[in-house]
Structure 1
Amino acid sequence: MHNSKTFAAGIAATLLATMPSAAHAELPAPVRALIDAAIADGNDDTVRAVIGLARDTNPDDGAELDTILAAYETQLAANAASAAAAQEAEIRNAGLFDNWSGSGELGAFNSTGNAENTGVTAALGLTREGINWRHKLRARADYQRNNGVTTSEQFLAGYEANLLINDRLYAFAAALYERDRFQGFSGRYSVSGGLGYQVIDDDNMSLSAQAGPAYRRTEFADGTSSSDIAGNASLDFDWQIAENIAFTQDASAFVQSGSSTLVSATGLQAGISSDVSVRLSYTVEHDTNPPIGALKTDTLSRITIIYDF
């Protein structure tokens, strides 16, 4: 948490500046040594418990204990402010390729709908947190080839930038590229923007929602294309059920006059180690008016190994 000797020295300096020397002598030396040891250890719960016990066993020394606790809390606040300032300075001075975190996935999939087969899936997700900005990159590929013939081919790449307005509200701008010839399009390009809100932000559960206008251009496999103004909305739910088990539910919708697209992705993730986990997921994608000859609904079941970095 902090350097114990530096922390204890800081409290000692505060006490010398605020406490009369006579008052310092009132508290029995063994009790004061126990409090000093708890402060040096750095566990906040232990420090408060020891001071509380000292207050119960030495009721006449309440004023000195109040002074010790006040000095401790002052030093805690100073340390927190110093750490926050150092973190902010590190973020502001970070280079373009610094402060990224993310995960990589590799596994297998089984699809039904416009392509019914089993193949290989891979994905990469990156996030960069700044002072007021957050950047997210993602990419996924599902691919299979049998006897020299491609039987499944789905690619996705996206970028999203968030401008943090306050602790919960943010503005976003996003770009998305998709390719799925078996679904009837060789390229689908989307740009969107709007507002997002962090509905739930707890240690074990989070839920965010965002919505706004979008523009989408689709290049069909037959050589034709269409461009549409759409509405875009999405939900991102994460629930840490237990220490090593997490549930995720993502949903998104592009609603437009042509073919609207609805996507739901449900996942269950189990940790193997601090950096490695196994994920089972099920994705449903529904197009309300797909190209002639294409089915409206595709499903994709995946099992992947995830490495966090």
Structure 2
Amino acid sequence: MTPAVRLAAALAATGLAALPSAAFAQLPQPVRAMIDAAIATGDEAKVRTVIEIARVTNPGDGAEIDAILAGFEQQQIAVKAAEAAAKTEAIRTAGLFQNWSGKGEFGAFRATGNTSNTGITAGLTAERQGIDWRHRLTGRIDFQRANGVTTREQFLARYEPNFNLSDHVYVYALGQYERDRFQGFSARYAVSGGIGYQVFNANDLKLSVKAGPAYRVTEFTDGRSESRIAGLIGVDFDWNITKRLTLTQDTNAVAETGGSAIAIIDSRNTTLDLVTGLNAAISSKLSARFSYAIEYDSNPPPGAVQTDTLSRVTLIYDF
């Protein structure tokens, strides 16, 4: 939809009409034509520039020029309101598989701790943002195999829906699956639910915290199984240092720009997954990322060490 069409639709919807040309008969016709042409583009910066030029070159017609500007400002308000209403309606009526966006990640890693090797890493994050709801799906694979022997095999899958109670407060649910035989468990499941708070939500700085109870089941590689009540604490942080450089600490963002910090605590074992990342935009869709992860288990299985580190260098594609 062109600016002129949007303007006409907004005016029709709100009952506003363009001021008649006769009302500005004192303005020279070339000046009025120049102003009308700027208004037709819908570009506010361009309109204000032309208005200022007209004001300087026609000082005696200031009142009429001010009236034209006031009318344009009313029209802009109508256009923005109509576009916002249309966007809200499109979100409300969208189907289950509509309005999803995401990021795909692929690259290499270097691991130390329970294993010391280099391999490939891949991740995928998909998100659907609604009026009050947000759904986020995350998947990640780290894999390395040499001379017919697998030396790194880590899988993560996570689903988290959020519901906004207000501009700053939301509730969340979380379901997570992990597998890492080299850390000593063949499967680890966690579910959690709780409350979160959006501390900052500016274009260049976002910070939110969340906490709640959790229930975790761990199936160890030696055949044992444990289930425990736990607590979850998460921190999401995004800082756009420049237009092309972003630093984040994001709880559930495996393929997003940046990293994550999440802790699950129970009476016997504390698990910390901290990922710090730096993203550099290459184009509107492609970015390069360097991240450093620390995975900590206070009470690991026999034969495993408490801390693993993982450095990743990847390319991220937005879709």
| TM-score between the two structures when normalised by the length of structure 1 | 0.91
Q: Is the Cα contact below 8 Å between 2:10 and 2:79 reproduced in 1?
A: no
RMSD: 2.2
Indicate the residue corresponding to 2:45 in structure 1.
45
> Does residue 1:124 correspond to 2:127, yes or no?
no
Q: In the alignment, is the contact (CA less than 8 A) between 2:178 and 2:189 conserved in 1? A: yes
1:92-131 alpha-carbon deviations (Å, 9 max, x no partner) = 2222111111111111111111111111111000000111
CA contact (8 A) 1:102 1:125 kept: yes
SS at match of 1:26: coil
Q: How does 1:35-184 map to 2 (within 5 A)?
A: 35-184=35-184
Counterpart contact for 2:233–2:263, Cα < 8 Å: yes
Indicate whether 1:14 and 2:25 are aligned: no
CA distance in 2, matches of 1:263, 1:89: 39
Match of 1:264 among 269, 274, 277: 274
Structure 2: segments with no counterpart, 5+ residues? 250-259
Q: Between 155-164 and 6-15, report the one with greater CA deviation.
A: 6-15
Q: Counterparts of 1:172 and 1:6 in 2: how far apart (Å)?
A: 38
- Distance in 2 separating the partners of 1:307 and 1:15: 45
List runs of 5+ in structure 1 lacking aligned partners: none
Question: Residues 11 and 71 of structure 1 are in contact (CA less than 8 Å); yes or no, is this contact kept in structure 2?
Answer: no
* Residue 239 (1) aligns with residue 239 (2): yes
Segment drifting more, 220-229 vs 180-189: 220-229
- CA shift digits 1:211-270 (9 cap, x unpaired): 111111111111112222211111122222223222222211111101111121011112
% identical aligned pairs? 57
CA distance in 2, matches of 1:227, 1:167: 36
Instruction: For residue 294 of structure 1, report the CA deviation from its aligned partner.
Output: 1.1
| Contact 1:103-1:307 within 8 A present in 2 as well | yes
User: How many angstroms apart in 2 are the aligned matches of 1:88 and 1:280?
Assistant: 36
1:255 equivalent among 265, 281, 301: 265
Pick one of 269, 287, 293 that aligns with 1:277.
287
1:203 aligns with 2:203: yes
Residues 113-155 of structure 1, C-alpha deviations (whole Å, 9 max, x = no match): 1111111111000000111111000000111122322211111
TM-score (normalised: structure 2): 0.88
- Residue 216 of structure 1 pairs with residue 216 of structure 2: yes
Residues matched between the structures, number: 306
Of the three residues 301, 306, 312, the one matched with 1:296 is: 306
Q: Secondary structure at the match of 1:64?
A: helix
Moved more, 297-306 or 42-51: 42-51
The amino acid that maps onto 1:32 is R
